[in-house]
Chains A and B, each alone.
Chain A
Amino acid sequence: MFSRAYRIAITVPPLAWVTVFLLMPYLLMFCFSFWSVSSTQTIVHSWTLENYKQLFTKDVYWETLLRSMWIAARVMVFSLALGYPLAYFLSFYAGKRKDLLYQMVIIPLWVSYLVRAYAWKTILGSDGVLNTLLQYVHLTRHPLDFLLYSPFAVVLTLTHIYTPFAFLPIYAALEHIPRNLVEASNDLGASPAQTLWRVIFPLSIPGVVAGATFAFVLSFGDFLAPLLLGGPSGIMISNIVVTLFGAAYNWPLGAAISLCMLVLVVSLLFLSERIEQKWNFS
């Protein structure tokens, strides 16, 4: 069919790209995670499990890892709770306004992440919009300080940022449901709520799983929102990795933590792929 030269010409560049920019860095990271740093701040190229031991014995590391997962899990749940009804409404009831509303969901994605994170800072701060309003209407006497520099602020901001990512695959899945299945369900006596539960939701599960994975994985690895709005109690695992690769100059430990995150994320992706497969009927 295709000449040998042609086949080489189209397969080698992507393979080379993957090797140079993915496989080699991962391999390097893997090696680093078993090395160590000497007292004179040089990398010692001898194999040790010390980094992994630290990761699982020092409270600050595994606690932050768990907190990051907990924050990511909440972001995932809230993004789905917001994204699913929105996608359902848009797909089934928006009628002519569908395209316009769809664009309105997408537009925030074009705004810089930083701008959106800062926006929450001005809303949630002690002199911020929310606190000023609450005091103005005499609901509170003093500024609420848990609003900013807290896990709450991080969850709120990440939910705002990643809801469109949860929304999009759900919307795509809903749009793919043949409308005659919905009609058939109504025809067989199922009310709209019964139809949602028995037909629409099961058929949208691949989209829900994809959206949940997006929201979880993206917020799990996020470091800007906790940096800007998290405060000491809202630190996430990526902040620690950033510090280890920067000021702390402990690349080996940083690599070990990164690898651990990678394993978590990849197994999650694998799991979600399995679920999506199982619920895919097209």
Chain B
Amino acid sequence: MGSTTVSSGSRIDSGAASAPLLTIHRVAKQFGKNIVLRDISLDVAEGEFLTILGESGSGKTTLLRIVAGFESADAGELSMNGERLDRLPPYKRKVNTVFQSYALFPHLTVEENVGYGLRVARIAEAEVSSRVEQALARVRMTAHAKAKPGKISGGQQQRVALARALVNRPKLLLLDEPLSALDANLRRQMQVELKSLQREVGISFVFVTHDQEEAMVMSDRIALLRMGELEQVATPREIYSRPATDYTAQFIGHTNLLRAEVRGGRASCGALGWEVGLADGPAAFSVRPEDVRVVEAGRTSVDGVVRFRGKVQHRAFHGATELVRVVAGEGLVFSVRTAGMDGREEVECEFSPKDAVPVRDSAERS
């Protein structure tokens, strides 16, 4: 593990508290007629692990490349510690990148790859070798120091790429889907390693991925990008339990999206109804499968709880839990997460109105 590094303040809500490390202000970008990013504003706090999450084509990689300096924004500003960043060429930015395909220099050894940034900066050779040694030890690649990148495995290349970036002690590390080339097991292992490494070094990470599970596991905050616009920026917990839009609710984890009509403080969706504090009109609600419970038939329910009967259509076993599809009639299908249940074909379920989270319609905005 080595020495512990001091990190500043509480990481999770440092976004609002201290001055941000990186400020992205109203950035827009288009390639030809294709609008890739519109009006993106986002802060990254000191020591924060921020994930930019989005489907392919959402503009997440472009945003990362703008921060790195490989692309220039059409509009907007970037600043780091209050100084303009967007006017600097990539080689003058205190930012390093771990590329999706690692981009290790094939003609240099592992050691030379890691020492590249330091040697380019004309740092004394004695310091270069000691820092390289440290960095290689940190990612457990000391044994392969003399190997060429072509001779080591994908996971090892990934760690070298990480060491090559971190050895320069950047203020900000950008990671462009660095785990996407690894198989599932190694990937899960690397997620944990990467996260603990980030805690240890205390550098801000901006991590790009299309994998929502990965985002949930690793991030302090998630910035969800959809078609070039920020959908929601929040902690994993908040984005999961309080999704702002129907898109967010469906993209992050499983959900039941209920399209209801609100009238006189009461939402109704088919035969179901519950009290809400919303104005009249159409509204959408997200109910997570684990918030729906299978209950004993005939048991009297607590006041206000929404209860329905339905036919079991499909059951998917997930190990600890089981995801059951329940047809509640009138085209209403619920996903219900249970800890396992008997072979009943008809079940009675309920959820509490506080778990029906009102969400905006994504398409409505703009």
Q: Could you tell me which A residues sit within 8 Å of B by CB distance?
A: 178, 180-181, 183-191, 194, 198-199, 202-203, 279, 281-282
Contact = CB atoms under 8 A, between A and B. Distances in A.
B304 interface: no
The 8 closest A-B pairs by CB, nearest first: A281-B106, A188-B117, A184-B103, A180-B103, A186-B90, A190-B120, A186-B91, A187-B97
Given A180-B99, A183-B99, A194-B120, A188 B106 contact: no
A188 B150 contact: no
Given A188-B117, A189-B168, A183 B103 contact: yes
A176 to B, nearest CB: 11
B107 A202 contact: yes
Contacts of A190: 91, 116-117, 120
B107 A188 contact: no
A277 to B, nearest CB: 13
Contact of B91 (A191, A202, A203): A191
Contacts of A279: 107
A190 B89 CA distance: 10
A189 B106 contact: no
Contact of A184 (B105, B150, B168): B105
Nearest to B99: A180
Interface of B: 68-70, 89-92, 95-97, 99, 101, 103-107, 116-117, 120-121, 148, 150, 164-165, 168
B106 A203 contact: yes
B90 A183 contact: yes
A239 to B, nearest CB: 42
Contacts of B168: 188-189
A155 B50 CA distance: 61
Contacts of B69: 186-187
A187 B68 contact: yes
A188 B104 CA distance: 11
Given A183-B99, A186-B89, A186-B91, A281 B107 contact: yes
Nearest to B115: A188
A189 B105 contact: no
A174 to B, nearest CB: 14
Contact of B101 (A180, A185, A199, A202): A180
Contacts of B92: 189
Given A198-B116, A281-B106, A184 B121 contact: no
Of A180, A183, A187, A191, the most chain B CB neighbours within 10 A belong to A187
A198 B89 CA distance: 18
29 contacts: A178-B101, A181-B105, A183-B97, A183-B103, A184-B97, A184-B99, A184-B105, A185-B105, A186-B89, A186-B91, A187-B68, A187-B90, A187-B95, A187-B165, A188-B91, A188-B96, A188-B117, A188-B164, A188-B168, A189-B91, A189-B121, A189-B168, A190-B117, A190-B120, A199-B105, A202-B107, A279-B107, A281-B106, A281-B148
Contacts of A178: 101, 103
Contact of A188 (B70, B116, B148): B116
A187 B96 contact: yes
A185 B69 CA distance: 12
Contacts of B117: 188-190
A180 B176 CA distance: 12
A199 B112 CA distance: 12
Contacts of B121: 189
B45 to A, nearest CB: 22
B70 A183 contact: yes
A190 B118 CA distance: 10
Contacts of B99: 180, 183-184
A184 B104 CA distance: 8
B166 to A, nearest CB: 11
A108 B68 CA distance: 42
Contacts of B89: 186
A282 B116 CA distance: 21
Given A188-B168, A189-B168, A281-B148, A181 B103 contact: yes
A190 to B, nearest CB: 4
A215 B104 CA distance: 32
Nearest to B112: A198
Contacts of A185: 105, 116, 120
Contacts of B150: 281
Contacts of B164: 188
A180 B64 CA distance: 14
A189 B69 CA distance: 12
Q: Which residue, A183, A191, A202, has most C-beta atoms of chain B within 10 A?
A: A183
Nearest to B68: A187
Contacts of A282: 106
A187 to B, nearest CB: 5
A189 B97 contact: no
Q: Most B CB atoms within 10 A — which of A188, A198, A199, A202?
A: A188
A240 to B, nearest CB: 43
